[in-house]
Chains A and B, each alone.
Chain A
Amino acid sequence: MSSGMKEEKYENCQKATFLLEKRQYKSLSLWDLIFLKYHLFNCALCSIYAKQTLIINALIRDLITHRETSESQLDSNTKEKIKSEINNKLG
């Protein structure tokens, strides 16, 4: 193993992580797929990233749905204020 080879596998991590994101929304071209497969096979760092990015998606989905479903947050002052605005408009 020459040091040159070792360096080479850490190149293109920027492109690989970009494709890892893109593939969550769009199918990649064959060329990009081959690049990505080959890169992940050789790069331990991007392989970690590949797992983590999916976990982060799941965590955020979880966070937002939790925020959406946690009830009784609008304080009564604001509610009364909005109600009286509505009543005013209704005349």
Chain B
Amino acid sequence: MEIIDSALDPKQWVDTHGDYLFSFARARVKDVEYAKDLVQETFLSALAKRDGFKGQSSIRTWLTAILKNKIIDGYRKRSIETVSNESVNWDTSVDFFETNGGWSEKTRPIAFGFEDEKALENKDLKRILEFCFDKLPEMWRMVFVMKHIDDEKSNHICKELKITPSNFWVIIHRAKLSLRDCLQKNEI
């Protein structure tokens, strides 16, 4: 009983889990201040519903799940506001391909010179990738993170973010094309 209580003591939460939750949020949202707000909201709503904590998972896992829901809610709200713009962008921003489906002249892939595991040790490449990744539209980054980092099922992502399966594939495809192109344009 005592052990559970001390883990549950909300006065310890910030010191024990604050950095972790902040890092988790920072990896998923661009804005630092917004990430801080999310962490604060997470603690406060955890506090409000801590009687519902069943102890089946660790308190950290529980807090992380609350934070994750808040991040997704935020994406959803903002994407409703920007969805019309974004859907236009998907079709007309950069044309990676000619009308016949072939690569357009200015976006043709050029070999990076390290199409293998060595790329992971390349500091410059990582720096440029970080720059390019943060430039992606928020919805694209979110889909990417949920799929590649959180290993969620595609249909689950569609449901969470309220996007159609065909939009999901378009996002995945265009996000990758944009990232690849950004890496190439920034002179790897």
Chain A residues near B (Cβ < 8 Å): 7, 10-15, 17-18, 21-22, 25-26, 45-46, 48-49, 51-53, 55-65, 67-74, 78-79, 81-83, 85-87, 89-90
Contact = CB atoms under 8 A, between A and B. Distances in A.
B183 A56 contact: yes
Given A53-B176, A56-B183, A73 B19 contact: yes
Nearest to A80: B14
B43 A86 contact: yes
Interface in B153-179: 154, 169, 172-173, 176-177, 179
Contacts of B100: 11
Contacts of A26: 154
A43 to B, nearest CB: 9
Given A12-B101, A73-B19, 5 more contacts: A52-B115, A58-B117, A59-B125, A65-B149, A86-B11
Contacts of B114: 55
Given A52-B112, A83-B11, A74 B22 contact: yes
Interface residue range, chain B: 35 or more
A89 B26 CA distance: 26
10 contacts: A12-B101, A13-B102, A14-B101, A48-B110, A64-B27, A64-B145, A74-B19, A74-B39, A79-B14, A82-B40
B23 A13 contact: no
Contacts of B49: none
B176 A56 contact: yes
Interface string B133-157: 1000000000011011100001000
A73 to B, nearest CB: 5
Contacts, number: 142
Contacts of A67: 23, 26-27
Contacts of A83: 11, 14
Contact of A86 (B47, B119, B180): B47
B31 interface: no
B111 interface: yes
Interface string B105-139: 00011111011110110000110011001000000
A26 B97 CA distance: 24
A69 B23 contact: yes
A14 B97 CA distance: 6
Nearest to B115: A51
B102 A78 contact: no
B91 interface: no
A78 B32 CA distance: 12
Interface centre among A13, A49, A61 (most CB of B within 10 A): A13
